[in-house]
Amino acid sequence: MKSLTKILSCLAIITILTSCQTNKEQAKACIKAIMNQQAADWSNGNIEGYMNGYWNSDSLKFMGRNGITYGWTSTLEKYKKSYPTKEAMGTLEFNYISVEPIGNSMLVIGKWTIVYPNNTIGGYYSLIWKQVNGEWKIVFDHTS
């Protein structure tokens, strides 16, 4: 079942990415679609699927309350350590405050929420998205 979920997530991302254009309105819609897929992957316990939205590079930067993590692999490892099970991951929701172009990049600002059976946690994020090989990817994530 987990393999099927991964395959379906990959197909969804491929479908989303192939429909993305460089037009700013289309870019906004594309990025939101990728983030919605990320939230679905997270909520299904699929961290690897969630990470498809990130630039798979040692140059990826993730800034959280404990400082900066450099690289896709290090970011994935940090997520796996902090959220080792589907239950620990909860249900992720993104609320978008703004999605705006800055040069050839897009800046996404919003609020994240993770819902658990007995509580809810959340905070804010700012993401810088760039097109890498024709695909929109998060190259910088500041989440608090």
For the segment 83-113, what is each residue's pLDDT rounded down to a tens digit?
999 999 999 999 999 999 999 999 999 999 9
**Contact by Cβ (8 Å): 74, 116:** no
Between the alpha carbon of residue 89 and those of residues 6, 31, 41, 53, the distances in Å are: 16, 22, 10, 17
> Which residues does the chain have with pLDDT short of 50?
10, 17-19, 21
Three-state DSSP at 66 gives coil
pTM listed for this prediction: 0.84
CATH 3.10.450.50 assigned to 2-143: yes
Between the alpha carbon of residue 119 and those of residues 110, 114, 139, the distances in Å are: 20, 9, 31
